[in-house]
Structure 1
Amino acid sequence: MDFRERYHRQFSDLPEEDRPPRTPDCAPEDVLVRCGEPGELIPVQYVLDGAMLRKPDNLHRMLGARYVLVAVRGEDEDVVGTLVRTPPDRSLDRHLLADAMKRADDPPADPETWGQGHEPTHVDAVAVKYPHRGEGIGRALVESAVERTDGPLTVAFDDDVRPFYEALDFEIWQTRPGVRNRLVGWKE
């Protein structure tokens, strides 16, 4: 029995709604996607730093509040990827998201209602260690975030990663012209 099976088997006595979601099928067999733990702050920071992504100042609190997903590999559960989620009104990209939604012909959300229980969940960062890229780990992190979110998932990203989000069936909008070639994506 591999470590993913053991992880999910330990929850088999719980009702289905209390069990952690299974790792998406697109992940390599030796990778498990789960909520990060406070003791994984340094490995998560290492993965985000390696991808040169900005980190929220309260990352340590977000780990404890289950906003951070990690992809771990092998028996020693080495963190090989991470995804950081936040409500969009607390996101580093909140202004880009709000602007894109206001300018969309048929916006999927009203930014005026964010913070009132009507907000989607936002992906602030998704990163995979360089030697593990191209193995489906990033896809597994995003698919797991979609599965663990009660509503839509949003993301703001640079144009060069557009094919990644298109392959995951995100709706994509251009932000205002001249705003660093940033795009906004949305998935229900």
Structure 2
Amino acid sequence: MRVHVRTAGPDDELDIRRIIDAAMLDPGDVEARIDNEDVLVAGDRRGVTDEFAETPETSERERILGAIVLVPHTDERGAHISAVAVRNRHRNRGIGRELVTRALERERRLTARFDADVRPFYEALEFAIEPVDDRRYRGVVARSDAEIDG
């Protein structure tokens, strides 16, 4: 499945809330994060009209399959991952990875706090991980311009 990642708009709020609620995450004020362009969504183009095609297909709305909510760091560059979630049926297809990768390209540095059960996800994304307690961890990953461009 091919997905594309873009900055979320106000029309995406309900889909984002449903995805995040289903994952039982609490990212704070999602509406404010959307207004500040700090939310990215991954969607598929199945059913979306291509205005440049000779014979446009159906004009159904894009399906939002995942979202990442970021909170910019105030004292340093980068952002904190407040939540990253993918619809249950679409997990394990690289959508979460694509969301984090795109957020990292944009922010250059990301931090996260997470439970032990999602540690393998962050390890695979090369986060430097340290324990907070027996069940929680925090991680940091950064990319230089050369790594992203080259």
**How does the TM-score come out when normalised to structure 1?**
0.65
* 1:64-113 deviation digits (Å, cap 9, x = unpaired): 2110000011223111100000024xxxxxxxxxxxxxxxxxxxxxxxxx
The answer as to 2:140 corresponding to 1:186 is: yes
The whole-number CA distance in structure 2 between the counterparts of 1:142 and 1:128 is 12
What is aligned with 2:33? Answer: 62
The answer as to 2:17 corresponding to 1:32 is: no
Q: How far off is 1:119 after superposition?
A: 4.3
What is aligned with 1:46? Answer: 18
Q: Which has the higher contact order (CA 8 A, sep 6+)?
A: 1
* 1:135-170 deviation digits (Å, cap 9, x = unpaired): 100000000100010x41101000111111111111
The answer as to 2:85 corresponding to 1:85 is: no
| Count of aligned residue pairs for this structure pair | 128
Letter in 1 for 2:94: G
Identity of aligned residues (%): 38
What is aligned with 2:58? Answer: none
What is aligned with 1:141? Answer: 99
3-state SS in 2 of match to 1:148:
helix
The answer as to 2:113 corresponding to 1:156 is: yes
Structure with more strand by fraction: 2
**How does the TM-score come out when normalised to structure 2?**
0.80
The answer as to 2:125 corresponding to 1:168 is: yes
**Unaligned regions of 5+ residues in structure 1, if any?**
1-27, 89-114
Letter in 1 for 2:37: R
State the 4+ residue runs in structure 1 displaced beyond 4 angstroms. none
3-state SS in 1 of match to 2:82:
strand
Letter in 2 for 1:136: G
Please, what is the CA RMSD of the aligned residues? 1.3
* 1:32-56 deviation digits (Å, cap 9, x = unpaired): 1000001111110000011111131
The answer as to 2:27 corresponding to 1:73 is: no
3-state SS in 1 of match to 2:121:
helix
**Unaligned regions of 5+ residues in structure 2, if any?**
49-60, 143-150
